[in-house]
Amino acid sequence: MPAFEVPRSLLRISGVASIAAGILMTVGFVLHPAGEDATFGTSPMWIPAHGLLWLAFVLALLGWVGIYLVQASRAGQFGVLAFVILLVGTALASWIFSSDVTFVPVIAAESPALFTKIFTTTHTLIGVASVLSWVLGTVLFGSSIIRAKRFPAWSGALLITGTSIIPIAYLTGLSIRVVAVGGGIAAIGQLRLGYQLLRGPEPGTPSGE
């Protein structure tokens, strides 16, 4: 495979996007209402919280691209697999936030009984599968960061730890605040990765202007 250079401008964009995603995810979880049930859609903080989380997931896609390119030469096939699952998982999970921002608040205010018709077993399974694909992708990608050694290992460990807390908290019925802690931990890892991209790739990483 011929060698190629990664435009430095792309890495800067990815770095800024990753930092912004980490900040927005943290703020989104802090603003999140006390419950995740759709009936909380009438809370004044529902739309701002989910809007920030939606934007965080979209920007994260740009961030993951730059992070992967920096470590691609060392990540191997495992890194490719992790990257693909992460991109697909992030894209799938973002639809949940889009619905939370658009139709959920309207239904919660006008006809909350409709939720019993919308949230069928199929809908729930699709939502769970979407979130778990993002969790799996983030955990695998965090592992690839540790293995590739282009970024500080602890940044990958934070992605793994923080993201793993989220489904555990949901499945065990813990407070949304515990979910927020998990999101915050993952966000710190993402912030550190973005900062590294802005500083410049580690020695030996192909780059260009």
Q: What is the mean pLDDT of the chain?
A: 87
Residue 168 has pLDDT above 50, yes or no: yes
Q: What is the pTM for the complete model shown?
A: 0.86
- Beta-carbon contacts of residue 60 (< 8 Å; ≥ 6 apart): 17, 18, 21, 25, 90, 190
Give the whole-angstrom CA distance, residue 174 versus residue 191. Answer: 26
Crossing angle of helices 8-31 and 176-199, in 10° steps, is: 160
Stated length of the chain? 209
Query: Tens digit of pLDDT for each residue in 29-79?
Result: 889 887 777 677 788 898 999 999 999 999 999 999 999 999 998 999 999
How far out from the chain centre does Cα 182 lie?
11
pLDDT category, 201, cuts 50, 70, 90? low
Residue 126 has pLDDT above 80, yes or no: yes
